Amino acid sequence: MAQGKIPIEGLINISLETNSLSLFLKTLIYSLSTNKEIGELLTNITGGNVRSVIDLVRSFIGSPNVDAEKIIEIMEYEGQYLIPVHEFSKSALLGDYSHFNPDSSVAMNIFDVFFPDTKEHFLVPITLAFLNTKGNHKDKNGFVQTSELIEELQSFGYLVEQIEISLRRSTNKKLIETSQRVTFEEDETGLIGDMPISFRLTSVGAYHFNRWMCSFGYLDAMVFDTPVFDKEVYENLSKNLESLQIGHRFDRTVSFKKYLLSCWANMVTVPAYIDFNEILSLGEKSFSQVQKVLNTTQ
């Protein structure tokens, strides 16, 4: 710089980039301290682990799924921008990928299946609901005996093998935890290991059940990671397969949501402690927000 080897244009660009970074970080700090929904997301999805919270914030800063240019532009013209929780949520769900990656995401696809059985879409949600429900089935620390949990899930037509695979997956993704605080090892057949004495719900599982499961962002992320057993729905989801345009994503997610509701309607027996229709209705606001954006851009 002192020797004149960096042209003045380069110095101007450095200044502009520094200013943009300053605006972005200012927005981030303001949103973290003001938006309680972001605080709830970070606290629950990390289990309150400070290091994990820092990692999530750091990944948000560098995520290709965050429209940093939009944020900076709004800050330049309006002087303030409150990052909505769905932007943070998208970063947490997708990380550095354009589609959900179950191996790298902090989230779990609770609608995924191991067997070709539409009932299995709801095995994890029912498990989380049962562990979330108050009652005599839980001890003073919130744990439920594994034998009682398996018996409960069997009453809705699930096989023991289905249940155990689901419990192992949910444990390793930290939606539930065992009384021994262990996770399961994996071999070529999948996750393995004996069932522990008991399980209980974690804050990660509670957030999946109470916040993520019904939201547009979560359902949008799970569309291509969830096996679909209805040919017509599958064909609808396959339209504009490579497109990430919000209109195409909205259509796919609405179709996926209707598919899940149809599968739920076909369940022979369902527990009284979970109303899947009501749960999904709680996410209508997130769908309406997307629809509003589409209406203004058409």
Tokens 């996750």 -> residue: 191
Residues 209/125, Cβ–Cβ less than 8 Å? yes
DSSP character string of 98-131: SS--TTT-SS--TT--SSS-GGGGGHHHHHHHHH
Across 7-16, 68-77, 164-173, 188-197, which has the greatest mean pLDDT?
164-173
Amino acid 4: pLDDT: 41
Q: What is the pLDDT of residue 13?
A: 42
In this predicted structure, what is the pLDDT of residue 143? 96
Write the pLDDT tens digit of every residue in 233-272: 999 999 888 898 999 999 999 999 999 999 999 999 999 9
- Closest C-alpha to 27, from 92, 79, 89: 79
HSE-up (13 A, CA, CB side) for residue 7: 3
Q: Look at residue 187 in the predicted model and tell me its pLDDT.
A: 67
* pLDDT score at 122: 99
Q: What span, in angstroms and rounded, lies between the C-alpha atoms of 135 and 138?
A: 6
pLDDT digit string (tens) for 20-63? 888 889 999 999 999 999 999 999 999 989 999 999 999 998 88
8-19 pLDDT, tens digit each? 344 334 344 778
The reported pLDDT for the residue numbered 184 is: 79
177-228 confidence digits (pLDDT tens): 998 888 878 766 677 778 889 999 999 999 999 999 999 999 999 999 999 9
Assess contact for 103 and 251: CB atoms under 8 A.
no
Residue 284 scores a pLDDT above 60 = yes
Q: Where residue 2 falls among pLDDT bands split at 50, 70, 90?
A: very low
Radius of gyration of the chain (CA): 22
Locus of tokens 């498990």: 127
Q: Where exactly are the structural domains of the chain?
A: 8-94, 118-297
Pairing of strands 176-178, 198-201: antiparallel
- Predicted structure pTM score: 0.89
**pLDDT the model gives residue 194:** 83
Q: What is the pLDDT of residue 185?
A: 80
Local confidence band at 296 (pLDDT 50, 70, 90 cut-offs):
confident
Predicted pLDDT of residue 183: 81
Chain segment 91-130, per-residue pLDDT in tens: 999 988 989 999 999 999 999 999 999 999 999 999 999 9
Measured between alpha carbons, how far is 250 from 124 in angstroms, rounded to an integer? 25
